[in-house]
Every structure is written in C-alpha cells, then in structure tokens.
Amino acid sequence: LATHAFHGESLKAPAMVASAETMLERWKNYEGKEIEVFEEFRFFTSEVISRTAFSSSYIEGQHIFEMLMKLGFLLTKNSLTIRVPGI
C-alpha cells in the first residue's frame, strides 16, 4: 500500500511541475514589484489540488474554493461564540 502511494503516477508530479511553472511565469510580470506571497502560495496550493485531484485548473473551480474559504471562516467564527441556553 505505502509503495503505491509514492509511485510516480500517484504523486502526479507533472501536474505539480506545471502548476509551479505557471506560477513562475506569472511572477515574471512582477519584476521589480512586491509579490503578495501568502496570496500566491494560496493560489498555487489550490492550483495543485485542482490539477491533481480534479484534473482541472483552479480558475475553473475558483468559486468553489472561495465558498470553502468562507465556510472555514464561518466555522471558525461560530466555534468561538459562546452559547448559553435560554439567552
């Protein structure tokens, strides 16, 4: 089982490389400018997940990822709310 998990096809390395190359090409437009690294790596991570798990680009499913981010925010916000019965 573990051997199969680390097999080249299972790792989807070409899709990851393609995502990295796309990101680096986009960064060429930022020459001499600041790059918002958090946003770029969030986009890169989403792109890799999209390509490896769903065989599509992040842009095609961007709305779904945005909804998942909102859901995560709401879950975090609501988990910190103290609820007292009867109030």
Domain span at 67: 7-79
Question: Does any domain span residue 85?
Answer: no
Question: Does any domain span residue 1?
Answer: no
User: How far is Cα 49 from Cα 9, in angstroms, rounded to an integer?
Assistant: 15
3-state DSSP assignment of residue 50: helix
Question: Does any domain span residue 16?
Answer: yes
Q: Would you state the pLDDT for residue 58?
A: 79
For tokens 């790792």, the residue is: 11
Confidence of residue 8 (pLDDT cuts 50, 70, 90): low
Span 11-55, pLDDT tens digits: 688 888 989 998 999 899 988 899 999 999 988 998 898 888 888
Question: Does any domain span residue 38?
Answer: yes
Q: Would you state the pLDDT for residue 69?
A: 86
Question: Does any domain span residue 84?
Answer: no
Q: Would you state the pLDDT for residue 66?
A: 86
For residue 2, pLDDT over 60 is answered with no
Question: Does any domain span residue 27?
Answer: yes
Contacts of residue 2, Cβ cutoff 8 Å, sequence gap at least 6: none
Amino acid identity at 86 = G
Domain count, the chain: 1
Count CB-CB contacts under 10 A for residue 54: 12
Question: Does any domain span residue 13?
Answer: yes
Q: Would you state the pLDDT for residue 25?
A: 92
